[in-house]
Amino acid sequence: MKKLLAIATLLFASFTAHAADELHLYNWNNYIAPETVQRFETFCKCKVVQTYYGDNEEMLAKLAAGAKGYDIIIPTGNALDALIKQQALLPLDKAQLPNLKNINPAYLNTDFDKGNKYSVPYAYTVTLLGYNDQKMKELGIPVDSWAAIFDPKILAKIKGKVTVLDSANELMAAALKYLGYSANDTDEQHWQQAKDVILKAKPYWAAFNGSSYIKELTVGNIWLVHGYSNDIFQADVDAQKAGRKFRIRHALPKEGAVLALDSMVIHKAAPRPDLALKFINFMLDGKNAAELSNLIGSGNPNADAAKYIKPEIANNPAIFPDKAGFAKLEMLKDLNGKQRRAINRIWTEIRAR
């Protein structure tokens, strides 16, 4: 056995010695601070090569088609579940991750990866309501419930000034929460009820918009959105830079919402798993982790990062919910083939009508 281990060690050393001193990071766009990348390059005397994807489905499809060469990938929970089932990831050598102790235990041991055999939490977003505070106050519209985007009586006051995410999973989850169900409810009768809620509200919406709603909020064309916490933070930053007279605010609906936890994983075909482990431990340092929250307003599962995050972000309850708010958040689970086909049929009907 010792002889076999020695041979394996030599093979690994030989392989890594011949691979370039590059870490290939497959990530969401604008999801790591440039100064963090530069500091890691100095630390590891390597180069970080970044490739981006726009959503989990795109990333999964690319990998399923045979794409290789990535060391680190940052999937969301349900995509992490899929990658584990596909046996596409390397188990983590936690002896190389002493900074793992910095992660808040509330974000460990999720249903997607019990025991965190393959994944380490990176950052999270909450899907909630973003709004123009000036307009909502003028119109007397409360923004504490999903009713703001689903109740036709409220929507009649802001017709054409509302957008919702162009995502079946996210919009169905919001409608299910509005109805009092779990975001992960898979009862098809409940899905039909959620579809009916969406169809009654749809005539009042300006668009399904998952890409340009930040700009629309910033310039004042749209007053209320169903969107991601970090995007809404960015819209407010941009509005302030532009000298707008209004602020863009977050609102966590009282019925609860979806939390998307993104994690760092190592692909089984990683050219440099040694650099990948160094990167993960580096990003688990509180100061390095905090730079992402300060850049884009993301939630942060790293407890040690809290003291480095700007107070206006750290104290925002929509980005960092308190205990009661956190208890109402759910991570979306992966659907099986039959469920995916059913929800796709519902989504096609919603978009067509």
Give CA–CA dist 48/237, Å, rounded.
28
Residue 5: per-residue pLDDT: 44
Q: Which of 174-188, 210-224, 300-314, 325-339 has the lowest mean pLDDT?
A: 325-339
Delineate the domains of the chain, giving CATH numbers in brackets.
Answer: 22-124+261-319 (3.40.190.10), 125-258+333-352 (3.40.190.10)
Q: Which of 183-192, 280-289, 321-330 has the lowest mean pLDDT?
A: 321-330
Q: Is the pLDDT of residue 227 over 50?
A: yes
Give CA–CA dist 256/258, Å, rounded.
7
- pLDDT-derived band at 13 (thresholds 50, 70, 90) equals very low
Residue 16: per-residue pLDDT: 47
Structure tokens belonging to residue 227: 């969107």
Structure tokens belonging to residue 320: 């960092």
**Mean pLDDT of all residues in 318-345:** 91
Contact by Cβ (8 Å): 293, 300: yes
Residue 19: per-residue pLDDT: 65
pLDDT tens figures, 61-118: 999 999 999 999 999 998 999 999 999 999 999 999 999 999 999 999 999 999 999 9
What DSSP state is assigned to residue 46? -
Q: Is the pLDDT of residue 7 over 50?
A: no
| Pairing mode of beta strands 47-53, 207-208 | unpaired
Please name the helix (run of DSSP H) or strand (run of DSSP E) that holds residue 25, with its range, or none: strand 22-28
* 262 beta partners: 76, 123
- pLDDT-derived band at 318 (thresholds 50, 70, 90) equals confident
pLDDT tens figures, 159-181: 999 999 999 999 999 999 999 99
**Mean pLDDT of all residues in 12-33:** 77
Please name the helix (run of DSSP H) or strand (run of DSSP E) that holds residue 208, with its range, or none: strand 207-208
| Pairing mode of beta strands 120-132, 257-266 | antiparallel
The CA-based dihedral angle spanning residues 122, 182, 234, 141, taken in that order and rounded to the nearest 10 degrees: -160
- pLDDT-derived band at 40 (thresholds 50, 70, 90) equals very high
Closest CA to 141 of 223, 227, 247, 233: 223
Averaged confidence pLDDT in the chain: 92
pTM: 0.86
* 267 beta partners: 89
Q: Is the pLDDT of residue 242 over 70?
A: yes
20-46 burial by CB neighbour count: b if 16+ within 10 A, else e? eebbbbbbbeebbbeebbebbeeebeb
